A and B are shown apart, each in its own frame.
Chain A
Amino acid sequence: MDRPAVTVRLFGALYALQKERGGPTVLEVELPPEGVTGAELAGMLDLPLSMIEGVFCNRTVRPLGHQLMPGDRVAFVPEGTPGPHRFFLGLYAAGKEGVETEKTPS
């Protein structure tokens, strides 16, 4: 039986950071059955929260307080996404919400 995990992608400055570290930019990360928040997962990967504006969970932008569950598809988006997409995709809202709220899984 496969161990519970999420697939994590890193974009932009986070991609560059991971490359500097010599690590992969697409990772499989094991999670506890109850999941972890985006902020906690970032901590597990040693990604500075100050660099992250939002986290995609199954292709929808969530704030870093969102609970990520095993089997989810995850991507961390750094600060600085250009275009109106910061609004249209919800990145602006996610960045403002930060890690303080939303502890429920999608």
Chain B
Amino acid sequence: MREILRVNMSTLTISKEPLPEKWARYGGRALTSAIVFTEVPADADPMGPDNKLVIAPGLLGGTSAPNGGRLSIGAKSPLTGGLKESNSGGTAAHALGKMDIAAIIVEGVPADKTVAYALRLFPDGKVDLVPRHDLKGLGTYETVAVAKGIEASEHRYSEKVSFIVNGPAGEMGMKAAGIAITDPHGYPNRFAGRGGLGAVMGTKGIKLIAIFEEGLKGKEHADKDAFIAAVRKFSGALTTHAVTSQALPTFGTNVLANIINEAGGYPTRNFSSGQFEGVDGISGETMREITVERGGNVKHGCHAGCVIQCSRYYVDEDGHYITKGPEYESAWSLGADCGINDMDTVAALDRKCGDIGIDTIEAGVMIGVYMASGKIAFGDGAAAMAVLDEIGHGTDLGKVFGDGAEATGLHFGVKNIPVVKHQGLPAYDPRPIQGIGVTYATSTQGADHTAGYTITSNVLAVGGTVDPLKPEGQAALSQGLQIATAMLDSLGFCIFVAFAVLDMPEAFEAIHEMAAAHTGDEWDADALMQLGKETLTYERLFNEHAGFTNADDRLPKFFLEEPLAPHDVVFTVTDEELDSVHSFVPEVAAQLGIK
């Protein structure tokens, strides 16, 4: 029986309660969004006592479902003002799943704002909350290094422990702060980065969540044999499809750099061009060559059960770990968007972002905006590092930078600020790739690239005909993508599984077969899509209650007015088409009995 672990930081009390029956089919993003919708007033101050930080493994968290170990963290976002789900890899999701914890809800705020707490979950079910002043202000890497030894020795557990860590940026309440999660080797390099949830964790006074895993067993299944059969079917698909067995494991997500650049959609120097002449220096191909030459690891999973293995470690010239191999979005934001073409510089910036606990996408977009102000030059890696240092030191200017791209752009009077719902755009310019522009504009999450991946036949049909430079069909494509992504996020799957499923119907079947065999409930393709729709409906309605209207589902005007080289196109999807993306919400809301 899955439970909710409720941690009240005002009273410093901890309690457990059964997961309500109405949410029995929910996990991950569906659950974080349903809880935030239900328990957080839409007009709550994101930094106040009424906001809640919700942490949930997917419905299949704790099982052996391939690539099923993603973690959802939700709250009202200090950055967007809307409902946020930020998704991460790392080992914490499976650990929570094995403990039968459906979600941790952290609510209230401590009376003493100077205290840093560690929330500790033990294999025997015990949970406690202890002051850890020694960790306050430490970077994420140092926090883990200090905490790991002490916690393990104090409790005589092995070092098999997952950490969810807040960095200094989150402790200082900066709106671009994310939350780090440790990977299988104990590095805090997986990140729930988007939307400023580190700032929410900071208001709660929690520096660290430690989940001790020693002796934890995998979850029981309603039908073990059927579950194992579905796992084998799914794993077979992932290990044979080109997307999940070749490109990602070999080059990582940054294999996209050359491709998006060639398409003319690689935002360069604050979205002023669609091609970067220095892309070779920061591409996935180059990153692999450098890493292999230096003896770094170029293929591993970010959590147990990952069969795609797209993670890698970037190392220095002596082979010492610096950071995870920067993902495509990080290499772009800290590279091309800032005019930086050197992989070592990008990796150093990525490490710095991870250590101070700031979202790499928001940080890179922010630095690009700052560079556009003329205060520092595009391509100046040392100046970019100095900006991150300002954030880490919490200077007055650093607090502006730490609040993200929009705050920085407004402060310095920059004309073109690439944000939607106050959140920086990721690594695809919406002018030559109009479909991603629809997703940016209409996503409940603010400009978010992960709000759009899919497995539906509708997307296959539409996706086979759209012209990236034209508006026709893009809204329908984006709608399908957003629904499917919300579904995968709710089950706990890595979004990259979707691409095997696209071409292999048996893989799609395996997803609902795993859900059915694990839970004992009926699951089919329609039920999976309904899960995605319900998730988006909670998010959409919360945002409406928070004051969002269709006018917020729009790209900044410069994307509509300033043609982007080399295609020389603007974004042309109409407002009516954008407004059609969430056409299903009223019907689903009625089904859920919510308004």
A contact set with B: CB distance below 8 Å: 9, 11-13, 15-16, 19, 25, 53, 56, 59-61, 75, 77-90, 92-93, 96
List 6 A-B pairs, minimum CB-CB distance, nearest first.
A80-B247, A87-B463, A79-B242, A80-B242, A88-B435, A93-B464
Q: How far is the CA of A27 from the CA of B432 in the complex (A)?
A: 26
Q: A11-B262, A88-B468, A93-B464 are in contact. List 11 more A-B contacts (CB 8 A).
A: A11-B258, A12-B258, A12-B285, A13-B250, A78-B242, A79-B243, A80-B247, A85-B263, A85-B433, A87-B464, A88-B428
Interface membership of B452, Cβ < 8 A: yes
Q: How far is the CA of A79 from the CA of B211 in the complex (A)?
A: 39
Residue count of chain B within 8 Å CB distance of chain A: 49
Q: Which residues does chain A contribute within 8 Å of B284, judged by CB atoms?
A: 12
Closest to A96 in B: B464
* Shortest CB distance A76–B (Å): 10
Closest to B256 in A: A83
Closest to A97 in B: B464
Closest to B462 in A: A87
Q: Which residues does chain B contribute within 8 Å of A81, judged by CB atoms?
A: 243, 247, 255-256, 259
Interface membership of B117, Cβ < 8 A: no
Given known A-B contacts A84-B481, A92-B464, A77 and B259 have beta carbons under 8 A apart: yes
Contact B566 A15 (CB under 8 A): no
User: CB < 8 Å: which of B243, B454, B459 contacts A82?
Assistant: B243
User: CB < 8 Å: which of A19, A87, A89 contacts B259?
Assistant: A89
User: CB < 8 Å: which of A78, A84, A90 contacts B467?
Assistant: A90
Q: Which residues does chain B contribute within 8 Å of A61, judged by CB atoms?
A: 263, 468
Q: Which of A9, A61, A75, A80 has the most chain B CB atoms closer than 10 A to its own CB?
A: A80
Q: Which residues does chain A contribute within 8 Å of B467, judged by CB atoms?
A: 90
7 pairs of residues in contact across A and B, judged by CB atoms under 8 Å = A82-B247, A82-B253, A84-B453, A87-B435, A88-B477, A90-B466, A92-B460
Closest to A61 in B: B263
Q: Which residues does chain A contribute within 8 Å of B434, judged by CB atoms?
A: 88
User: CB < 8 Å: which of A19, A84, A92 contacts B452?
Assistant: A84
Interface of B is mostly: helix
Contact B264 A87 (CB under 8 A): no
Interface membership of B11, Cβ < 8 A: no
Contact B250 A89 (CB under 8 A): no
Contact B246 A84 (CB under 8 A): no
Q: How far is the CA of A9 from the CA of B261 in the complex (A)?
A: 12
Contact A11 B433 (CB under 8 A): no
Closest to B459 in A: A87
Contact B566 A59 (CB under 8 A): yes
Contact B258 A87 (CB under 8 A): no
Closest to A59 in B: B264
* Shortest CB distance A71–B (Å): 15
Residues 38-70 of B at the A interface (beta carbon under 8 Å): none
Contact B247 A9 (CB under 8 A): no
B416-440 interface bits toward A, Cβ cutoff 8 Å, 1 = contact, 0 = none: 0000000000001000111110010
Interface membership of B370, Cβ < 8 A: no
Q: Which residues does chain B contribute within 8 Å of A79, judged by CB atoms?
A: 242-243, 246-247
Q: How far is the CA of A79 from the CA of B241 in the complex (A)?
A: 9
Contact B465 A93 (CB under 8 A): yes
Contact A85 B256 (CB under 8 A): yes
Given known A-B contacts A81-B243, A82-B496, A89 and B263 have beta carbons under 8 A apart: yes
Interface of A is mostly: mixed
Contact B465 A85 (CB under 8 A): no
Q: How far is the CA of A15 from the CA of B436 in the complex (A)?
A: 27
Q: How far is the CA of A64 from the CA of B202 in the complex (A)?
A: 53
User: CB < 8 Å: which of A15, A59, A78, A83 contacts B453?
Assistant: A83
User: CB < 8 Å: which of A56, A60, A82 contacts B255?
Assistant: A82
Given known A-B contacts A80-B243, A80-B248, A92-B502, A11 and B263 have beta carbons under 8 A apart: no
* Shortest CB distance A20–B (Å): 12
* Shortest CB distance B18–A (Å): 37
Contact A12 B263 (CB under 8 A): no
Closest to A14 in B: B285
Contact B262 A9 (CB under 8 A): yes
Q: Which residues does chain A contribute within 8 Å of B248, judged by CB atoms?
A: 80, 82
Contact A11 B464 (CB under 8 A): no
Q: Which residues does chain A contribute within 8 Å of B481, judged by CB atoms?
A: 84, 87
* Shortest CB distance B110–A (Å): 41
Interface membership of B545, Cβ < 8 A: no
Q: Which of A12, A61, A87, A96 has the most chain B CB atoms closer than 10 A to its own CB?
A: A87
Contact A88 B436 (CB under 8 A): yes
Contact B247 A78 (CB under 8 A): yes
Q: How far is the CA of A96 from the CA of B436 in the complex (A)?
A: 21
User: CB < 8 Å: which of B260, B460, B496 contacts A85?
Assistant: B260
Interface membership of B567, Cβ < 8 A: yes
Closest to A81 in B: B259
Q: Which residues does chain A contribute within 8 Å of B265, judged by CB atoms?
A: 89
Q: Which residues does chain B contribute within 8 Å of A77, judged by CB atoms?
A: 259, 262
Residues 467-516 of B at the A interface (beta carbon under 8 Å): 467-469, 477, 481, 496, 499, 502
Closest to B436 in A: A88
Closest to B449 in A: A83
Interface membership of B251, Cβ < 8 A: yes
Given known A-B contacts A82-B247, A87-B466, A88-B468, A11 and B285 have beta carbons under 8 A apart: yes
Q: How far is the CA of A92 from the CA of B481 in the complex (A)?
A: 15
Q: Which residues does chain B contribute within 8 Å of A87, judged by CB atoms?
A: 435, 454, 459, 462-464, 466, 477, 481
* Shortest CB distance A89–B (Å): 5
Q: Which residues does chain B contribute within 8 Å of A88, judged by CB atoms?
A: 428, 433-436, 463, 466, 468, 477
Closest to A58 in B: B566
* Shortest CB distance A50–B (Å): 10
Given known A-B contacts A79-B242, A80-B247, A81-B247, A12 and B260 have beta carbons under 8 A apart: no
Contact A56 B263 (CB under 8 A): yes
Contact B468 A89 (CB under 8 A): yes
User: CB < 8 Å: which of B251, B462, B496 contacts A12?
Assistant: B251
* Shortest CB distance A70–B (Å): 19
Given known A-B contacts A12-B250, A15-B285, A82 and B464 have beta carbons under 8 A apart: no
* Shortest CB distance A63–B (Å): 11
B221-257 interface bits toward A, Cβ cutoff 8 Å, 1 = contact, 0 = none: 0000000000000000000001101111011010110
Q: Which residues does chain A contribute within 8 Å of B454, judged by CB atoms?
A: 84, 87
Q: Which residues does chain B contribute within 8 Å of A80, judged by CB atoms?
A: 242-243, 245-248, 255
